[in-house]
Amino acid sequence: MPFTLIKGTFCVVGLSPDGDSIRFVPDDDALVRALPGGSSNGKPSRQLRLEGIDALETHYNARHQPGRWAFAATEAILAFAGVGNVQWDSRHATVVAADDGTRGWILARHKEKYNRPVAFLFAGEAPDDDGASVMLGEELLRRSFNLQALHEGLAYPTFYASLFADLRTAMTAATVDARTAKRGLWQDDRTTAGFEAASLAVLMDEVPILPKLFRRLSDYMAASGTAIGFKEALAEGQDIVWDLRTQQRTHLDTFVEQASGSVEIRLTRDPEDLVFDEMPLQPPGFFAALVGAPMPSGA
């Protein structure tokens, strides 16, 4: 199926962009409103969720992941968007000044339950008319920030069922290439090698892991004060995933290895081997509420 091409500008001043999301002001917001899913938020700008990638968290409920690669991804998306002279506040949380308003465009097919267009991100002038239907092939995909972030090791692959298989294959190839060459975060990643979740500080400052796993684990630890029992709590959350190795539908806890009474944790699948379900009927912040953590702004 084709994607809708939507032209616009990037805005960051007074906002908190990160390595996989940036505010976008569409020239014609009716094109965004017409995308299936979500609802109209009445704001002139739209927070994007970039399809197929997940950068290290810079701000998730007052928590974050190790800054080196988190900030590298943020700097990369700003540079890609042509946003220059960026000045941050003292906490490096909010942009206080920048030369934003630069031109760009997205390809999107739907909005997710947080009302964000799920998009492939491109800079500069678009090759077609606003609102055009565009088939996204590998050649055009290579121009997207999504693929470039994976190729440079600035983001993890995080695939949802909405992503077409041919695009997923190309994004997997970029991921494997980056990991083999140990580019970017793959120099330090501990997702499948394993890590000791002795404290939230370890997750926040020492061990880069798949952000999806970080969000679930940090929610649990913020509520319980320990990582012990995380696998059991995750099983209750029932995050639906497809295992591409076996072509079976199961839940995320299936691939989390943690012994009883231990804080040693690892994922037993590479991130690109999993395809997550959007679970649109599950309310936002479901797992955080389940374990009694503060409610998140994104899953």
- The last residue of one of the domains, among 152, 186, 220, is 186
- CA–CA dist 12, 1 (Å, integer): 31
Say yes or no: 69 and 124 in one domain: yes
Say yes or no: 262 and 246 in one domain: yes
- CA–CA dist 43, 75 (Å, integer): 25
Say yes or no: 95 and 140 in one domain: yes
- Domain residues for the domain of 38 are 3-186
The token duo for 282 is 């599950």
Say yes or no: 84 and 17 in one domain: yes
pTM: 0.94
Say if 70 falls within a structural domain.
Answer: yes
Q: Which residues contact 143 (CB under 8 A, 6 or more apart)?
A: 122
- CA–CA dist 204, 60 (Å, integer): 10
Say yes or no: 34 and 164 in one domain: yes
Say if 297 falls within a structural domain.
Answer: no
Say yes or no: 121 and 53 in one domain: yes
CATH of the domain at 9: 2.40.50.90
Say yes or no: 115 and 166 in one domain: yes
Instruction: Please state the separation of Cα 273 from the chain's center in Å.
Output: 16
Strands 103-111 and 23-26: unpaired
Counted domains in the chain:
2
- The last residue of one of the domains, among 186, 213, 245, is 186
Q: Which residues contact 246 (CB under 8 A, 6 or more apart)?
A: none
Strand, helix or coil for residue 213: helix
- The last residue of one of the domains, among 133, 166, 186, is 186
The token duo for 201 is 């500080």
- C-beta separation of 5 from 107 below 8 A: yes
Say yes or no: 71 and 87 in one domain: yes
Task: Name the DSSP class of 2.
Answer: P
- C-beta separation of 241 from 251 below 8 A: yes
Task: Name the DSSP class of 116.
Answer: -
Say if 228 falls within a structural domain.
Answer: yes
How would you write the pLDDT of the chain (299 residues) with one tens digit per residue? 799 999 999 999 999 999 999 999 999 999 999 999 877 666 778 999 999 999 999 999 889 999 999 999 999 999 999 999 999 999 999 999 999 999 999 999 999 988 999 999 999 999 999 999 999 999 999 999 999 999 999 999 999 999 999 999 999 999 999 999 999 999 999 999 999 999 999 999 999 999 999 999 999 999 999 999 999 999 999 899 999 999 999 999 999 999 999 999 999 999 999 999 987 667 777 778 777 776 555 44
Say yes or no: 104 and 201 in one domain: no
Say if 298 falls within a structural domain.
Answer: no
Say if 28 falls within a structural domain.
Answer: yes
Say yes or no: 136 and 36 in one domain: yes
